[in-house]
Amino acid sequence: MQELPTDRRRPVFAALRTSEDGTERAVTVFNFGVEPCPVRVTLGEGIDALRNYLSGEVIRPLGGTVTVDLGRFGFKLFAVGRDAANQ
């Protein structure tokens, strides 16, 4: 698991998780605070799309970053990859 940089220090946490065989990746973003907030997450290069595992929402990074809207004590879990939008 690799922590990802965000534009907020606390109470937000973001990470990239890669499966042991390297075939699957996921991004998780958590808001441990009582206030809803948008969070800009720096993903880096090579990620073309994120697909929310729960809602199916697809986000396409721009310049290696995405903005994720989180509710109070909210989280989002995304599948990562070039084909994430088609899964």
pLDDT (tens, 9 = 90+) of the chain, 87 residues, equals 999 999 998 899 999 999 999 899 999 999 999 999 999 999 988 899 999 999 999 999 998 999 999 999 999 999 997 555 554
Label residue 77 exposed, middle or buried (CB < 10 Å: 0-12, 13-18, 19+). Answer: middle
pTM: 0.87
Question: What CATH fold (topology level) applies to the domain 2-86?
Answer: Immunoglobulin-like (2.60.40)
How many other C-beta atoms can be found within 10 angstroms of the C-beta atom of residue 78? Answer: 26
Contact 12, 64 (CB under 8 A): no
Residue 86's pLDDT is: 54
